[in-house]
Homo-oligomer: A and B are copies of this chain.
């Protein structure tokens, strides 16, 4: 079956089972080799990429749909998804299916409720679905061309993360259990898109009081072995909720 035939055949099923005009999109962030990445699908027969998104069933909570869609489209589950924005501009999506007949499900106007997730990329084995040629991590600072407004959706997710960094910690779901302060600083730098002063970073991150220094160091480098840390999960969780003045 060609990709066009697959889409047409899926269209009928979607009209029967899903809520028209509403879609969900996932921005899954992973951190690898000092780079922040986003999980993307490449469209079959196209050079461009797309977020792993989909539709909401008639009797399904939107918060559940987004999890099902991520599993179906990219084989990713057990991740914590945070809703961050709904994209509702006219014509944000439908022109993409211009060559198809007007009754095509995908040709409707869609309002997309979007979610982001932070995952340890080593715990995820992405698998492309039948509509995609590939499912891969792509660095946020060098994204390939994305269709529709998906680039705007990624940018907004990143902006929300940046804003959150200013008042609550990030890292628990993105880093392996044990990490060096340099690795944590690299994560912050890749979210913020800028270099940070090492001393300032150290002082600010220590103020959160969420790190436990381990009685061992990272071996193998050319330089002095750096200290290893892990998160104090109870304090980390508390710092996410403690917004009192």
Seen from chain A, the residues whose Cβ lies within 8 Å of a Cβ on chain B are 19-22, 56, 58-63, 65, 83, 85-86, 88-90, 109, 111, 113, 162-163, 165-167, 188, 192, 194, 196, 200-201, 204, 243-245
A60 adjacent to B90 (CB under 8 Å): yes
Complex Cα distance A89/B63, Å? 7
Additional pairs, 17, CB under 8 Å, beyond known A59-B90, A61-B88: A19-B21, A20-B20, A20-B21, A56-B111, A58-B109, A61-B89, A61-B90, A62-B86, A63-B89, A88-B113, A113-B113, A165-B243, A166-B167, A166-B243, A167-B167, A188-B245, A201-B245
What chain B residues lie within 8 Å of A63 (beta carbons)?
Answer: 88-89
**Cβ of A93 to closest chain B Cβ, rounded Å:** 13
Q: Give this chain's copy count.
A: 2
Partner of A111, one of B62, B90, B163, B200: B62
Shortest distance in angstroms between A238's beta carbon and chain B's nearest beta carbon? 14
Describe A's contact surface by its main secondary structure: mixed
A12 → B minimal CB distance (Å): 19
Question: 26 A–B contact pairs at CB < 8 A?
Answer: A20-B20, A20-B21, A21-B21, A21-B22, A22-B111, A59-B90, A60-B90, A61-B90, A62-B86, A62-B88, A62-B111, A63-B89, A86-B86, A86-B113, A111-B113, A162-B243, A163-B167, A163-B243, A166-B167, A167-B167, A188-B245, A192-B244, A194-B244, A200-B245, A201-B245, A204-B245
* Most B-side CB within 10 Å, residue of A19, A188, A201: A19
A19 to B162, CA, bound (A): 33
Expressed in whole angstroms, the minimum distance between the Cβ of A82 and any Cβ of chain B is 11
Nearest residue in B to A92 (C-beta to C-beta)?
B61
